[in-house]
Amino acid sequence: MKHKILAPTILLILFVSSSLISNASEPETIMPLADTYVDAFSADSPFGDSDYLEVSNYASGLSIITLMFDISKVSHVFNASSEIKLWLYCFYVASPHIVGIHWCVNNTWNEENLTFVSFSGFYRTNPEDVVRVDSIDVWYEWKVTNFVRNAVEENYEKITLTLEVKDTLEGPARSLFASKDQTPQDREYSPQLVFTYTETETNSPDIIIIVASGLTATAIIVFLAYKLSKRHKTKTRHHKIRSKSHLRGRQRVDVRTATT
């Protein structure tokens, strides 16, 4: 009985404590400073004024998406629960393929003159995340939490992210995503860097008092429940003893009666 009371009590304590000290934040969204793509088959051509971003790898196309974000004014402090993702809206897919996201440490480029020739000399890290692209009219998300956290720790004010085809899978790998250069009515489909996290407020005196009060009340309830269950067991045991004594008395009377 004690264990039956203790198990749900522990779960209650954990639930109350976590709900009191955790506070989910509203997502913070950052729009790109610049976005474009570079094409190996038009190596000297910039595409910064295009209203779409192309990533591809097929017989007559090899293109890479490049985006730059200002992370100098991010309003929250990173913690273990921070999660940062790049969101892109896809409106064309030739065939399913895998797209990976990389961190490019060169932030000196601008979308008006970036070409495949100039971009080819930029260093890029291994991908932090890869995503299968196979549908249109949907948002795709790539995790970039580690990239952004490292950039902030290394005092970068901007971060450049690139998207490249990592696996062509079934056929021509080519997909198109909305760029930031949309008409006003379609601006909602622009690329977004989305920050979500949970604030932990374990240092707040008010929270500590509330949690302590809740734990104290729970402990009292457990103690009273245990005492009541123990008292119930004692009464039950005494009742059984009296019943057995009464039964033995009746048996002795029956024996004497039979002998007589």
pLDDT tens per residue, range 20-40: 444 556 788 999 999 999 999
Using DSSP's 3-state secondary structure scheme, residue 249 falls into helix
Mean per-residue pLDDT, 132-155: 96
Give, for 64, the enclosing helix (H) or strand (E): strand 61-70
Only one residue has tokens 């990976």, namely 100
Pick the CATH number of 26-196 from 2.60.40, 3.40.50, 2.60.120, 1.10.10: 2.60.120
Residue position matching structure tokens 């119930």:
232
Tell me: pLDDT of 243 over 80.
no
pTM: 0.69
Residue 135: is its pLDDT beyond 90? yes
Task: Quickly count: other Cβ atoms within 10 Å of residue 179's Cβ.
Answer: 27
The confidence band for 212, taking pLDDT boundaries of 50, 70 and 90, is low
Q: Which residues contact 218 (CB under 8 A, 6 or more apart)?
A: 9, 12, 13, 16
At 42-81, the pLDDT tens digits run 999 999 999 999 999 998 889 999 999 999 988 766 666 6
| H helical segments located in 83-204 | 116-119, 145-153
Per-position DSSP letters for 191-229, written without gaps between them: -EEEEE-EEE-TT-HHHHHHHHHHHHHHHHHHHHHHHHH
